Each structure stands twice: as structure tokens, then as C-alpha cells.
Amino acid sequence: MSRIGGFLSFSIDGNTYSTTGSVTLEPGSIENEAKVGHSGTVHHSETKVAPRFDSTVQWTEEVGLLELGNLNGSTVTWQLANGKKIDFIGAVTEGRPSANGVEGEISLSMFAQSSVERT
């Protein structure tokens, strides 16, 4: 049985980062919502959802908090343990990264223009 989960690494514009803790990847899609008319007919509306991810990055000398906060138009590549890669293209930092000096971690959220899954 092949492995599904687990992250080996991720890179932003070619710079590799280490994660600590959990990572949530949302590749983006269409979100459907049911609508029921007064006559009982069922329809739906569609809303495009941007690709995004939330992660915790290990804070080392090489990782700049301000640099992560100012990313705009970046390419983020996640290398998964099962050999797949997911690219987030045109990624922008969402909100502000927050750092925990005691734990040595930075919480980072980003959204992107598009995403592509590769094997």
C-alpha cells in the first residue's frame, strides 16, 4: 500500500523550508451551494475558491519573518511523502505571519492564483 500523507519539504521560489506540526493544503475548486425556490425547485450557485495552505515553518537563521510576510507572486512547491508534488502558482502571503520565539516556529498562510498536482 502506498503512502498517502506526510510532507518531505516545501520550497518558495526555490528556497527550501522545513515544517513543524500539521499542514493544511486546499488546492482550490468550485464550491457549490444548494438553492431551493419557493416552488420547490432545486438549483445551485457556484463560487470559485482560491488555492491556499496553512503551515508552521521552522524558524532558523535562514528564514526571514519579514521576507515570508512580503511574498507576492511566488511559486510554492510541496513535495509529499508519496512522491507527488503540488505547485501553488502566483502565491501571496495571507495576513501576517506570526512567530513563536519559544517554540521556534512561524505560522504561515498563503493563497494562490492556481494549483497543479504532479507525480
Nearest C-alpha neighbor of 105 from the set 38, 57, 64: 57
For the cut 90, the answer to whether the pLDDT of residue 96 exceeds it is yes
Q: Does residue 84 carry a pLDDT above 90?
A: no
Q: What is the mean pLDDT of the chain?
A: 88
Residue 4: pLDDT over 60: no
Q: For residue 3, what pLDDT band results from cuts at 50, 70 and 90?
A: low
Q: What is the mean pLDDT of residues 13-26?
A: 86
**pLDDT computed for residue 49 by the predictor:** 92
Number of H helices, E strands in the chain: 1, 11
φ, ψ at 66 (rounded to 5°)? -65, -35
Give SS3 for 66: helix
CB atoms within 10 A of CB 53: 22
CA 37 to chain centre: 36
| Region 9-27 average pLDDT | 86
Those residues whose C-beta lies under 8 Å from the C-beta of residue 38, and which sit 6 or more positions away, are none
Residue 48 · residue 84 · CB < 8 Å: no
Say if CB 51 and CB 114 are below 8 A apart: yes
Residue 110: its pLDDT value, please?
95
pLDDT of 2: 56
For the stretch 21-79, pLDDT in tens is 778 889 888 889 999 999 989 999 999 999 999 999 888 888 888 889 999 999 999 98
For the chain, domains (ranges, CATH) are 7-118 (2.40.30.200)
